Amino acid sequence: MTHPQVPVGIIMGSQSDWPTMKEAADIMDALGIAYEAKIVSAHRTPDRLWDYGKSAVDRGLQVIIAGAGGAAHLPGMMASKTRVPVIGVPVQTKALSGVDSLYSIVQMPRGYPVATMAIGAAGAANAGLMAAGILALQDSELAARLDKWRADLSASIPQEPRDE
């Protein structure tokens, strides 16, 4: 049974990741894309990760945005469990500034890709935009909203700098 009304799953390893991952959720809200947000930890709740990945296709998820920090195994493990495309967000950490998260996510072995974004908030927002771009391939109304979002951003950039 599919639930196409929720095409995007935003998952994260911890409550502490939410301020970052909310950037992806904000993009979903801005573009009118239904999503769910869940805490799914590769280390603390491995059975939850397994169940989420196992049911993703049948539940109608089309893109999974997965954010984690430190030993950030969530995106890669999710990619190993489902063929639904996984977009990985390296959450910025205190100890190593998120380079640990990035390296944990980006170097996947051949066969199980994770589309890895930049570290931190910009990466989470871009994950939302990447998900929107994927969904827009099959949804002309969403494509128009995404085109407008991009045009609005472009128009908001001043021609010249000013003193602040």
Kindly state whether residue 86 participates in binding ligand RP5, applying the rule CB under 6 A.
no
Q: How far is the CB of 68 from ligand RP5 (least distance, A)?
A: 4
Kindly state whether residue 100 participates in binding ligand RP5, applying the rule CB under 6 A.
no
Kindly state whether residue 23 participates in binding ligand RP5, applying the rule CB under 6 A.
no
**Among 12-20, 77-85, 112-120, 152-160, the segment contacting ligand RP5 (CB under 6 A):** 12-20
Q: How far apart are CA 89 and CA 48, in angstroms?
A: 19
User: Which string of x and - marks every residue 24-43 that binds ligand RP5 (by CB under 6 A)?
Assistant: -----------------x--
Residue from the set 7, 11, 17, 89 that interacts with ligand RP5 by CB under 6 A: 17
Kindly state whether residue 97 participates in binding ligand RP5, applying the rule CB under 6 A.
no
Q: How far apart are CA 33 and CA 44, in angstroms?
A: 29
Residue from the set 53, 70, 75, 88 that interacts with ligand RP5 by CB under 6 A: 70
Residue from the set 14, 62, 104, 116 that interacts with ligand RP5 by CB under 6 A: 14
Angle, helices 140-155 vs 121-136, to 10°: value is 140
Residue 162 among known ligand-binding residues = no
The binding site for ligand RP5 (CB under 6 A) comprises 13-14, 16-17, 41, 68-70, 91
Residues in the annotated binding site: 14, 17, 44
